[in-house]
Structure 1
Amino acid sequence: MLSAESAAVVRATLPVVGGAIGDITPIFYRSMFAAHPELERDLFNRGNQARGDQQRALAGSIAAYATLLVDDSGRDPGTVLARIAHKHASLGILPEHYPIVHEHLFGAIVAVLGDAVTPEVASAWDDVYWEMANALIAIELGLYDEAGVVPGDVWRTVKVRRRVQESPDTVSLELVAPDGTALPAGRPGQYVSVAVRLPDGARQIRQYSLTGAAAPDAWTISVKAIAAIADGDRIEPAGEVSNHLHANAFEGDELDVSQPFGELALVPGQNPIVLISAGIGVTPMIGFLHHLRRTNSTRQVIVAHADRSPARHAHRAELKELVDDIPTATLYRWYEDLGTRPAVNGLRAGRIDLEHLAVPHDADAYLCGPAPFMTAVQSALLGRGITPDRIHHEVFGPGQEIVAAA
């Protein structure tokens, strides 16, 4: 906990530091990568760095944590850390990484705020950083212990046993241990990190949800190829790792993959479940549905998925088969281009619209897809009386929060 003195200083300077954090984080990353180029090459996501996503995510996390730390409402600051800690654990982050971040982050704060960083201000924000860092370290060490691994030693070699084309741009890869032993079971909704060595020598890492489709001894992930997109004068870079896996991961090939991590999990109980996804965001929902079918769940399940077209819908047949096998489940699908198919039997044209969907007010809702999609869906769910604590989401990116999050 912050001392009363530090809390008072942070509360007074939060508008200034919080307002400047967007300028601080780019300087921080430039400084850190100049001193430690191996971190940019082999640990951090270069695509997120190029887009500025990582900088915005860090800025948002620090500001959110500091705000909760000095908030008198009693809300736990740790609520913003679970997703970050799971991501860190999937990368093998260690306690010794945190002093490196501290050195360059505080150098960037001084560079931006100058004389405003008095000894008192520096000391108070130093306390904020170490409160956050030590809380993350504790969670991460707990995750390593739960996984039964030495801290940071999360990587294992797996072999591709099966590759299936799920849509024109998405493949699923069934992964097994080369020696035939069973892989550790992941919880429904979790992901693994996959590290690849790219042609320029960089080791880049991305996360992929476990779909739960494989045999008990294996993992299955789905990988969507991502092409470069022109957005005005800006080019959205192509997916380095996903495209590499598309071109190079076939039966018999070996990959470096982490233990399963991820804090998205089904809340136990008998409350209705609503699974809402778009595009490749269907993958954790597939994992949930495999689990519900395997355990003969009697919970009411509403599945709502949005995609460009039936042809582009990865796991389209599998999704319908899973829902058909769960007597209490109902499937609704929206396609921007429905083609010549009639809008019947849960098929609808256009973008997802929950207005006419009977969502029980006591349902637990799980969202996965692009952040703007989840922002709109969460707002709709809140408007239907679903409380914020019953809305859970997974973001394929550097931990950014959806706008409507309470």
Structure 2
Amino acid sequence: MLDTATVQIIKATVPALQLYANDITSHFYPLLFAQHPEVLPYFNQTNQGKGTQPKALANAVIAYGANIDALGNLSEAVSKIVQKHVALGILPEQYDAVGSCLIQAIKAVLGDAATDEVIDAWTKAYGQLANILIAAEESIYTENEQKSGGWRGEREFILVKRVDESSVITSFYFQPFDDKGLPNFEAGQFLTLVFDDINGVSMRRNYSLSDATGKDYVRISVKREPNGVVSDHLHNNIQLGDKVKLRAPSGDFT
């Protein structure tokens, strides 16, 4: 729990961060990718190009600072972040990389306003948030692993069927390579597909489950997107009998 002085500094600096939030996050991502290129597969570069990820991070930082003394207000937002992180397979050690680059970005953008006291307060605040997320994510990783048919991390599946639903949408049916069954999932959940090498780049993408639970397969229905590297790869290159690595079903229920 943060001390009173730290909370007061965070609350007092929220207006400045709100004013420069987009500058901070725009500075943050190039730093992160340059210093820690191993995290690139966890980020959708299309969303980076559109600016949606930097904007989402800016909003999250502002909301966290504004509610630093009332974190219960953020429970729904935190739950969504946790589910997304679990789907991608975010690891505890990756929080250190993100935190370091975020603090560097704050210092670079705020300049003299980023005093030692301000940087110390935001470092502590980030550490608190990281610990909350790490604990919540580990709980879900464990739950997924302990389910009947469940697993932790990546698991190999085989494409057993593909159906062209339209000129731009194809459904892909996957069965576990190990024949050990599948966990039940909820409507609205999604799978994360992990590709180690698409044109020399490792990528991860989430796709909604498009069939009911309780089958001996999982199905996703993928729309071919303009400039969509992963959707193009699925449509053009993944054929019957090919292996694909999947992460366990994740996401908020609908």
TM-score (norm 2): 0.91
Residue in structure 2 matched with residue 38 of structure 1 by the alignment: 38
Residue in structure 1 matched with residue 26 of structure 2 by the alignment: 26
Mapping of residues 292-307 of structure 1, within 5 Å = none
Residue in structure 1 matched with residue 95 of structure 2 by the alignment: 98
SS in 2 for 1:171: strand
Deviations 1:251-297, CA, capped at 9 Å, x for gaps: 211111111111224xxxxxxxxxxxxxxxxxxxxxxxxxxxxxxxx
Q: How many angstroms does 1:166 deviate by?
A: 1.4
The whole-number CA distance in structure 2 between the counterparts of 1:258 and 1:36 is 23
The whole-number CA distance in structure 1 between the counterparts of 2:97 and 2:198 is 28
Q: How many angstroms does 1:139 deviate by?
A: 0.9
The whole-number CA distance in structure 2 between the counterparts of 1:214 and 1:171 is 19
CA 1:33/1:203 → structure 2, altered by over 3 Å: closer, same or farther? same
1:121 maps to amino acid:
V
SS in 2 for 1:148: helix
The answer to whether 1:250 aligns with 2:239 is yes
The answer to whether 1:121 aligns with 2:110 is no
Mapping of residues 129-208 of structure 1, within 5 Å = 129-148=126-145, 153-208=152-207
- Identity, in percent, stands at 37
The whole-number CA distance in structure 2 between the counterparts of 1:183 and 1:247 is 27
The whole-number CA distance in structure 2 between the counterparts of 1:244 and 1:186 is 26
1:246 maps to amino acid:
H
CA 1:167/1:213 → structure 2, altered by over 3 Å: closer, same or farther? farther
1:13 maps to amino acid:
T
SS in 1 for 2:134: helix
CA 1:199/1:94 → structure 2, altered by over 3 Å: closer, same or farther? closer
Q: How many angstroms does 1:198 deviate by?
A: 4.4
Contact 2:184–2:214 under 8 Å retained in 1: no
Residue in structure 1 matched with residue 252 of structure 2 by the alignment: 263
The whole-number CA distance in structure 1 between the counterparts of 2:152 and 2:90 is 9
CA 1:108/1:133 → structure 2, altered by over 3 Å: closer, same or farther? same
Q: Which runs of 5+ in 1 are unaligned?
A: 228-237, 266-406
The whole-number CA distance in structure 1 between the counterparts of 2:107 and 2:207 is 37
CA 1:83/1:214 → structure 2, altered by over 3 Å: closer, same or farther? closer
Contact 2:190–2:249 under 8 Å retained in 1: yes
> Is the helix fraction higher in 1 or 2?
2
Q: How many angstroms does 1:117 deviate by?
A: 1.0
SS in 2 for 1:124: helix
CA 1:8/1:103 → structure 2, altered by over 3 Å: closer, same or farther? same
SS in 1 for 2:129: helix
CA 1:28/1:39 → structure 2, altered by over 3 Å: closer, same or farther? same
Residue in structure 1 matched with residue 220 of structure 2 by the alignment: 221
CA 1:130/1:85 → structure 2, altered by over 3 Å: closer, same or farther? same
Count of paired positions: 250
Contact 2:191–2:247 under 8 Å retained in 1: yes
Contact 2:184–2:213 under 8 Å retained in 1: no
The whole-number CA distance in structure 2 between the counterparts of 1:30 and 1:157 is 32
The answer to whether 1:83 aligns with 2:72 is no
Q: How many angstroms does 1:99 deviate by?
A: 0.8
Residue in structure 2 matched with residue 353 of structure 1 by the alignment: none
Residue in structure 2 matched with residue 2 of structure 1 by the alignment: 2
| Selected match of 2:108 from 111, 114, 117 | 111
| Greater Cα radius of gyration, structure 1 or 2 | 1
Q: How many angstroms does 1:179 deviate by?
A: 3.5
Contact 1:214–1:220 under 8 Å retained in 2: no
SS in 2 for 1:14: helix
SS in 1 for 2:173: strand
Q: How many angstroms does 1:13 deviate by?
A: 1.1
Deviations 1:127-183, CA, capped at 9 Å, x for gaps: 22112111111110011011117xx94211101111111122111111101243312
**RMSD (Å), alpha carbons:** 1.9
Residue in structure 2 matched with residue 269 of structure 1 by the alignment: none
Q: Which moved more, 1:209-218 or 1:25-34?
A: 209-218
Q: Which runs of 5+ in 2 are unaligned?
A: none
SS in 1 for 2:249: coil
Contact 2:144–2:152 under 8 Å retained in 1: no
1:87 maps to amino acid:
K
